[in-house]
Amino acid sequence: MKILVTGSSGQIGSYVCENLMRGHEVVGFDIRDQPYDGLKKLSVKGDIREPENVRAALKGVEAVVHCAAQVSVVKSTQDPLYDASANVLGTVNMLNESVNAGVSKFIYISSAAVFGNPKYIPIDESHPTNPMSNYGVSKLSGEKYAFAFAKNNRMQICSVRPFNCYSSRSDPDSPYSGVITKFFSRLRLGQPPLIEGDGRQTRDFIHSRDVAYMTELLVTKRWTSGDAFNCGTGISTSILELANAAIIASGKSVKPEFTAPRVGDIRESLANTSKSAGVIGFRAKIKLADGLKEMFG
């Protein structure tokens, strides 16, 4: 099968390419240069918002994994027009051109940010969607367009909602990096992890390679068009537990330090993964301790 992966230079997209290229013909599509040597030969530069760029990349493609996005919550507030342009208009263009090209399957990589502040834990796919950020709104809008396309076209479409992704491919120099990357950036300097608040906030941390694994299953398995799937481990980890695990992985002799809580921070987040397990047989493979050890290696 020939598969187009958008956002192929990114944290999730690059792992998706590596997984799929073992058994399929893969084309990577990204506005940025491909940083990973093993993926350069399959990469094409282009903008998901430009119909001609997308049309050229889709020639002969049977399935699309749409990872490309503006992924920063902070940047979505600073520049909401760019956020909407990339995440909404870019997604609509990808959907439209994929339908026109006769693509059979379209897998949209969304985000758990679509849920907002949880009404209950664990969060299942039927949980109300009430995003708290422009980023969450733009990802939910992309989902809504995807599901509308699913109702009106023969192309099979589903959405994947990753929870808190991490990997060694997250950008340590980005001011928008996740908590794990921030902890390790300090630990590499011999500084203790800095916890915002009391550290009892909980998250569901999933390695980006596991997100890619779920995507691989969706490419090959059967599912109902217009469906959404949570992508998490189903394991709750407090930020304090995470900080201590990061310290162990780093081998440093330090203790976490605490600072003021972040305004608007969600207290708990945990994925209900029973649907993805039941429909496509997905279960996360990478334990947090192993993923952290790999990141610090």
Q: Please list the active-site residues.
A: 135
Residues 67/109, Cβ–Cβ less than 8 Å: yes
Q: For residue 278, what are the contacts with CB-CB under 8 A and spacing of at least 6?
A: none
φ, ψ of residue 277 to 5 degrees: the values are -70, -40
Per DSSP, helices labelled H in 35-124 are 51-57, 73-78, 80-84, 90-100
HSE, side-chain direction, 13 A CA sphere, residue 189: 10
Q: Which amino acid is at 59?
A: K
Q: For residue 37, what are the contacts with CB-CB under 8 A and spacing of at least 6?
A: none
> How many angstroms separate the Cα of 34 from the Cα of each of 8, 15, 48, 239, 273?
7, 12, 16, 32, 32
Q: Looking up tokens 């610090």, which residue turns up?
A: 296
Q: What share of the chain is helix, strand, coil (3-state, %, to 5)?
A: 40, 20, 40
Residues 26/36, Cβ–Cβ less than 8 Å: no
Residue closest to 122 by CA, chosen among 233, 246, 249: 233
Residues 113/136, Cβ–Cβ less than 8 Å: yes
